[in-house]
Amino acid sequence: MVYRFVDCRWSLDDPGAGRSAYLAGHVPGAAFLDVERDLAGPAGPEGRHPLPEQDDFAAAASRAGIGDGVFVIAYGSLGGAERLWWLLRHYGHDDCAVLDLDAWHGPLRAGEEEIQLAAFEPRPRRDDTIGRAELDRRLDELVVVDARITARWRGAPNSVDRVPGRIPGALNAPWQEPPPELPDGELVAYCGSGITACVTLHQLHLAGREGRLYPGSWSEWEQYPALPVERSE
């Protein structure tokens, strides 16, 4: 088994911050994948960070040296590592884990790395996502979890959400905190744009519970006035 570290640091406010951090110092031998360009598709009617097209993700993973027989250790910020973890499993590559970079006590290396190309063969799953139409239709049947901070879940005005509020019935499980006790049932997680919800799904996976991702998340839902919105008093 070959091990491949992948740096997925990023910033919502500064598109170049992740690569700058990587060049300043990364785990030796690590590849870099950009959350906005490699781990998401272009923003649009499906949200700010829709899933990348299969061929685009396969090309990015190949450039990062990911293929059969490679165990991926992702680290990052703001859910970047967990987004790569989720995408790898979505495309059939279960040999992956997440590392908290603060727990890394080894050396860091500055500059670029020469990464040997690999052949990533996507084998997409069909049971780990949900679209807005099915979610709207099945709200009464699902355990829906909102991974945004509590103020945004409540519907307080903020600089990120164009329409403040939440999907009706959604339970709050802020991504920076351990997930709360959740009811039994089919679970769906969302956040602002589908990145930090992957943190919640990773935490639940480690606890033995699987859930589905709503990739478009609130940044898709808020674009459709016919979809219901709930706010707290």
Q: How far apart, in whole angstroms, are the C-alpha atoms of residue 147 and residue 178?
A: 11
Residue spans of alpha helices (H) in the chain = 17-24, 54-63, 80-90, 132-137, 150-154, 197-206, 217-221
d(CA 122, CA 61): 10
- Packing angle of the helix pair 197-206, 80-90 (nearest 10 deg): 70
Options 8, 96, 191, 198, the catalytic residue: 191
- Annotated active-site residue 191? The verdict is yes
Closest CA to 195 of 74, 108, 92, 103: 74
Active site positions, annotated: 191
